[in-house]
C-alpha cells in the first residue's frame, strides 16, 4: 500500500457519543481508526443539554419507560428494539460512571443528604423523572469521558480534520460477488491529500442532518454525511420524513443555534405567548393534556401554529422566580448564555422558536447497527433501528448512543471470522478527482448551500403540503445535477463534500415525505391530515434503486 493508505481492523467515522463508544468497544478486538472532520469534540453530543433517559429509580420501571417511548413514537417504534435498549441502559450508565462521568446528585441540588442519590430530571413525553444529567451540560461531560478513554487506548488512533468522502465497496470497484464495505476515502483537510482507509468493518457515526434546514440547533458538521455515504454505498435509508424540530431554541440575534433544554419545562417552565394586550398567556392546554410537557412533535406544531396565527416572532418559556441559586445549580449553561444575550431567566421570560434538531430516520439497521451490507454498521443519529419511531422521546438519543455500540461489538465478534474469510481482495485504486480550479466555485457552493436550507425550511419544515414538497423536489433535482458536475470536475474540498452530502440528505427527506400519505409523529402533511392505521410500522425506504 502506498503512503496515502492506512489499514486498521475497524474504522469509525464520527466522534460523538455513539462513535467513541463504538471505538472503545471495538478496540477490545483490534485496531481502530476514528475519523472526524473537525476537532474531536465538535459534535452534537457535546451540545446535548438534557441528559440520558434511564430507569434507575425504584419508583420507575422498564415497562413505563417503554410505554412513554412507544407513545411518543406514534406507533412506529420497533417494540422489541426499544425494550432491549431500555433494559440495557443501567449497565451502560454504570460503565460510564466507572470511567469518570459525573451526574448531578440530589445532594448537590440541596434535596437530600445522601450524595449518591442522583437528581433525575423530567422532560416532555415522560411520565416519570428518569433523566440523568450533569447540570445542563450532560453531553459535554459524557464527551469528555469518552475522549479521555479513547486517547488513553493504544488500539485507537484519532484522525481530526479528516473528512470521509465516500465508502469503498466491492461493487463500487466493479468486483463480482456479494457487496462488501472495504473502508473509505478520506480527505486530510490540512494536507489536502485524499487517503485510503482499508478496514474489516466500517461504522457510520456522523450524527444527523440538521444543517439541511435554515434554523437548527445542530453544529455546522451535521450535514447528513453518514446517511449520504450509506445511500451511495447501496444501504437502505429509512423514515427520513420524521425530522424532529426542537420546540425551544433561544430567539436572540446574540446567540446562534442555542437550545433551551426541555428540562427547563420539566422543572416548571410554562410556554406562553403575548395576547392582544401584550400580556403573556398560556396556550398549550389547547393542544394536549400534558400541556407544556407534551411530546416534542405536538409542542413544535403548536408553537408553529400560534406564531402563524398571531404573526408574532417567538413564544416564551416562563420559569421566573425560582431563584438565582437554583438556576446556577440546575441550568448553569442556559443561565449564563441567556445572561450574555441580556436575559435574566430568574426575572425575564425566555424567547424561543422551533428549529431542526434530530433526525429520527437514517441508515436502516438492525438493533446491532448492522446495515445488511457486509462490514458496514451505523449507530446513533445516523442510524434508524426502530427505537425512536416517528418521534424521538426526549433524552432517548444518548441512551441509544451508549447502548447500541455494546450490541454492535458482540455482532462484529460473531461475524469477524466470516468477514476475514470472505472479504474480497484486490487492488483498491487511489481516489481520483478533477483538478480544475475556478474562482466561481465557492460562490456557487455557498449559493447552493443557502438555497437548499431556505427551501427546506419553507417547504419541508414543521408543516408540509404536496405542493411545497413538489417545489422542493424540483429545486433539489436541479441543484444536485450542478453539484455532481462540480464534484467530479473540480478539486475536492470540505465545502464541496458537505454540500454534496447535504443535498443528498435533503432529497432523501423530500422523497420520503412525498411517499408517506398520512400525518404521523413528526411528519405533518396538510393534504393528508389523518393518521392511517394501515401505515403503522410501515417504514419509508429509499435506496439507490429508487430514482432520486
Question: Which residues, 6+ apart, have CB-to-CB distance to 78 below 8 Å?
Answer: 385, 386, 387, 389, 537
Q: How far is CA 309 from the centre of its chain?
A: 30
Give the number of C-alpha atoms closer than 13 A to the C-alpha of residue 378, restricted to the C-beta side: 33
Q: Answer whether 25's CB lies under 8 Å from 377's CB.
A: no
What's the rounded Cα separation, in Å, for the pair 494 and 42?
15
For the record, the C-alpha cell of 466 comes out as 404536496
In the set 296, 423, 453, 516, the catalytic residue is: 296
296 is catalytic: yes
Strand ordering across the sheet containing 270-274? 243-250, 350-359, 315-318, 270-274, 280-282
Compute CA 548 distance to the chain's CA centroid, rounded to the nearest angstrom.
Answer: 23
Largest CA distance in the chain: 74
**CA dihedral for 251, 144, 357, 164, sign (positive or negative):** positive
Separation CA 528–CA 162 (nearest Å): 43
Given a contact cutoff of 8 angstroms between Cβ atoms, the answer to whether 29 and 218 are in contact is no
Q: Identify which of 500, 480, 375 has the alpha carbon closest to the alpha carbon of residue 433.
A: 500
Q: What angle do CA 256, 261, 262 make, to 5 degrees?
A: 140
Separation in Å, CA 488 to CA 168, 431, 491, 495, 497: 17, 11, 8, 14, 11
d(CA 156, CA 33): 6
Strand partners, 108: none
- The grid coordinates of residue 486 equal 462540480
Q: Which of 210, 220, 64, 184 is nearest to 129 (CA)?
A: 64
| Cβ partners under 8 Å of residue 162, min gap 6 | 35, 36, 37, 186, 187, 188, 189, 195
With b for 16 or more beta-carbon neighbours within 10 A and e for fewer, the 149-174 pattern comes to bbeeeebbebbbbbbbbbbbbbebee
Question: Please, where are the H alpha helices in 287-440?
Answer: 296-310, 324-330, 332-340, 396-422
Look at strands 156-159 and 120-121 and give their pairing.
unpaired
Distance CA 174, CA 151 (A): 37
What does the alpha-carbon distance between residue 379 and residue 404 come to, in Å, rounded to a whole number?
Answer: 7
Q: Indicate which residues carry an active-site annotation.
A: 296
Amino acid at each position: 500500500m502506498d503512503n496515502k493508505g492506512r489499514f486498521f481492523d475497524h474504522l469509525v467515522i464520527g466522534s460523538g457519543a455513539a462513535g467513541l463508544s463504538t471505538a472503545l468497544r471495538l478496540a477490545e478486538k483490534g485496531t481502530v481508526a476514528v475519523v472526524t472532520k473537525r476537532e474531536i469534540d465538535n459534535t452534537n453530543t457535546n451540545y446535548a443539554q438534557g441528559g440520558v433517559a434511564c430507569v434507575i429509580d425504584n419508583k420507575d420501571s422498564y415497562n413505563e419507560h417503554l410505554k412513554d417511548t412507544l407513545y411518543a413514537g406514534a406507533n412506529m417504534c420497533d417494540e422489541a428494539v426499544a425494550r432491549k435498549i431500555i433494559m440495557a441502559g443501567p449497565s451502560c450508565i454504570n460503565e460510564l460512571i466507572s470511567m469518570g462521568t459525573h451526574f448531578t446528585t440530589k445532594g448537590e441540588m440541596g434535596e437530600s443528604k445522601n450524595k449518591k442519590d442522583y437528581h433525575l430530571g423530567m422532560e416532555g413525553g415522560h411520565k416519570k423523572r428518569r433523566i440523568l444529567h450533569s447540570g445542563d451540560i450532560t453531553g459535554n461531560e459524557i464527551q469528555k469521558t469518552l475522549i479521555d478513554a479513547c486517547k488513553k487506548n493504544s488500539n485507537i488512533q484519532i484522525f481530526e480534520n479528516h473528512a470521509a468522502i465516500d465508502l469503498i465497496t466491492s461493487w463500487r470497484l466493479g468486483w463480482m460477488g456479494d457487496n462488501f464495505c472495504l473502508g473509505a476515502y478520506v480527505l486530510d483537510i490540512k494536507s489536502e491529500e485524499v487517503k485510503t482507509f482499508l478496514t474489516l468493518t466500517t461504522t457510520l457515526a456522523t450524527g444527523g442532518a440538521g444543517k439541511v434546514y435554515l434554523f437548527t440547533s445542530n453544529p455546522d458538521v451535521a450535514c447528513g454525511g453518514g446517511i449520504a455515504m450509506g445511500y451511495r454505498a447501496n444501504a437502505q435509508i429509512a423514515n427520513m420524513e420524521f425530522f424532529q424540530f426542537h420546540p425551544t431554541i433561544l430567539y436572540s440575534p446574540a446567540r446562534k443555534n442555542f437550545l433551551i433544554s426541555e428540562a427547563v419545562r420539566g422543572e416548571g417552565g410554562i410556554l406562553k405567548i403575548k395576547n392582544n394586550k401584550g400580556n403573556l398567556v398560556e396556550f398549550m392546554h389547547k393542544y394536549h393534556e400534558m400541556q407544556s410537557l407534551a411530546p416534542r412533535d405536538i409542542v413544535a406544531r403548536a408553537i408553529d401554529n400560534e406564531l402563524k396565527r398571531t404573526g408574532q416572532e417567538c413564544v416564551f418559556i416562563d420559569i421566573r422566580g425560582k431563584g438565582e441559586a437554583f438556576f446556577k445549580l440546575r441550568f448553569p449553561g442556559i443561565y449564563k448564555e441567556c445572561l450574555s444575550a441580556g436575559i435574566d431567566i430568574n426575572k425575564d421570560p425566555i424567547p424561543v422558536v422551533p428549529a431542526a434538531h434530530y433526525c429520527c430516520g437514517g441508515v436502516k439497521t438492525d438493533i446491532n447497527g448492522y446495515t445488511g451490507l457486509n462490514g458496514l454498521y451505523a449507530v446513533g443519529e445516523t442510524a434508524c433501528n426502530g427505537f425512536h419511531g416517528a418521534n424521538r422521546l426526549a433524552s432517548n438519543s444518548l441512551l441509544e448512543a451508549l447502548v447500541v455500540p455494546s450490541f454492535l461489538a458482540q455482532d462484529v465478534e460473531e461475524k469477524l471470522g466470516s468477514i476475514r474469510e470472505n472479504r474480497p481482495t484486490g487492488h483498491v485504486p487511489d481516489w481520483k478527482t478533477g483538478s480544475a480550479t475556478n474562482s466561481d466555485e465557492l460562490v456557487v457552493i455557498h449559493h447552493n448551500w443557502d438555497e437548499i436550507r431556505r427551501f427546506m425550511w419553507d417547504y419541508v419544515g414543521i408543516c408540509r403540503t404536496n405542493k411545497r414538497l413538489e417545489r422542493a423536489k424540483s429545486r433539489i433535482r436541479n441543484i444536485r445535477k450542478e453539484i455532481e458536475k462540480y464534484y467530479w470536475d473540480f478539486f475536492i474540498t470540505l465545502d464541496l463534500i458537505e454540500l454534496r452530502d447535504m443535498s443528498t440528505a435533503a432529497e432523501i427527506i423530500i422523497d420520503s415525505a412525498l411517499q408517506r400519505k398520512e400525518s404521523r409523529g413528526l411528519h405533518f402533511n396538510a393534504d393528508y391530515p389523518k393518521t392511517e392505521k394501515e401505515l403503522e410500522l410501515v417504514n419509508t425506504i429509499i435506496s439507490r434503486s429508487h430514482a432520486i
